[in-house]
Amino acid sequence: MKIKVGGQDRDVRVLFSEEQIRARIVGIAKEINANPTPDGSALVVLVVLHGALLFAADLVRHLNMPTEIESVRIRSYHGTQSTGKIELMSELPLRLKGRHVLVVEDIIDSGRSIVFLREELNQIGVASMQIAALLDKPEAHASDIQADYVGFKIGRNFVIGYGLDLDGHYRNLPHVAEVLG
């Protein structure tokens, strides 16, 4: 497949198929299920919109503990480049105070979004914060950040599909594909 990026044709190659993603999500859910909240309270799944929408929807179906769902919208990217500036596009729910929170992200790139969210959640006073990311680009990390649960580690190439966008497009692809060149 070819797509246009900034007016130029770029090749796209499937990295993870629908089946591979589905199988890996079952594995991640097993890891999360092995770590129930210490006090038995419901785990608050905080979906980072819009990228993690599909991942979170499939993941929560495999969680076997009491679960609540919240969401937050943040923005950091324009085109295929991180702006480095994180914007909170919706307020974080104050009811997260004292709760055990699982942040669900589509991808960790520089890690700035996660660092930013961690600070915001600490200010609210969550009981604990864990991170589940479908994808992780370890070579791109700007700070020492590690997700607790990672679906797949990938290189630096920009990826689209299964929630991940290029300027708002391609989120609906059932697979994850990498933009080449």
Which residues of the chain form contacts with ligand IMP (CB under 6 A)?
Answer: 51, 76-77, 82, 105-113, 158-159, 164-165
The token duo for 119 is 């600070």
C-alpha 180: how far from chain center: 22
Q: Which x/- pattern over 64-83 shows residues binding Mg ion (rule: CB under 5 A)? A: -------------x------
The helix (H) or strand (E) run that includes residue 181 is none
149 or 170: whose CB is closer to Mg ion? Answer: 170
Which DSSP state fits 64? -
The residues near 24 (Cβ < 8 Å, ≥ 6 apart) are 16, 151, 152
> Which of ligand IMP, Mg ion, none does residue 109 bind to, with CB < 5 to 8 Å depending on kind?
ligand IMP
- Known catalytic residues? 109
Return the residue of 16, 21, 51, 159 that touches Mg ion, per CB under 5 A.
51
16 or 158: whose CB is closer to ligand IMP? Answer: 158
> Which of ligand IMP, Mg ion, none does residue 102 bind to, with CB < 5 to 8 Å depending on kind?
none
* DSSP code string of 114-142: HHHHHHHHHHHT-SEEEEEEEEE-GGG-S
